[in-house]
Amino acid sequence: MTLTYQHNARILVALDCIIFGFDGEALKLLLIKRNFEPECGKWSLMGGFLNEDESLEEAARRILYNLTGLQNNYLEQIKTFGAPERDPVERTISVVYYSLVNIADQDITAIQAHNASWISLDDKPKLIFDHDQMVEVALQRLRYKAALHPIGFELLPEKFTVPQLQKLYEAIYNTQLDRRNFSRKIMGTDLLLKTGEKDMTSVTKKAQLYSLNTEKYQKYLDGYYTFLPELAELSAV
């Protein structure tokens, strides 16, 4: 005998992805200019509906891949939004994820196909439905996690300088950090490996290029170490 639940209401499950990127100066969001209803012509997050044969994370990764052409990026579920009137078309629950991507790795063709653009947080337009609330929740989670775990490295190219890393964290926390203090603390994490190369695009042409110590990075993610806990107090800024 096949068992079924007695429930007549149709409720859709959607996935919305907040995709963060860093261009070397500003923290950015990948947003789409909608060319479909509802809210055609307005800005929104990238989303889609859960298929019957996939998990929530599989659906989120599918949506991320469709928009950026990227796989295996940092992805984390943060909250579920389920207000009865949040979507004017049908009763829809949205499970929200945020992802961190290296802008240089993106698939331009995929982004153009979805009418998407990278937009600085400072220039973010008003988004549809409850998407503005979703972005705020994601930003607070990013700030909290980036203080305890070195997930910010996901936003950087394979080779980077300490000043570039500092600019990234200043963009995440929307504040200026003391150069000497930041450099001392970041070097004390043992996360940086010297490449023996210099950043030839810098003004002085003397900036040392580093790469990430992936083994040490994994230990930080697994909770063996705490990254820069003093930044946690800035998570609400």
Q: 66-88 pLDDT, tens per residue? A: 999 998 899 999 999 999 999 99
Among candidates 72, 63, 26, which has minimal Cα distance to 45? 63
Domain 151-234 falls in which CATH fold?
Answer: Arc Repressor Mutant, subunit A (1.10.10)
State the fold for domain 12-148: Nucleoside Triphosphate Pyrophosphohydrolase (3.90.79)
Range list for CATH 1.10.10.10 in the chain = 151-234
| String of DSSP letters for 4-54 | --------EEEEEEEEEEE-SS-EEEEEEE--SSSSTTSEE-EEEEPPTTS
| Segment 15-60, tens digit of pLDDT | 999 999 999 999 999 999 999 999 999 999 999 999 999 999 999 9
Cβ-contact 207, 163 below 8 angstroms? yes
The CATH 3.90.79.10 domain(s) of the chain lie at 12-148
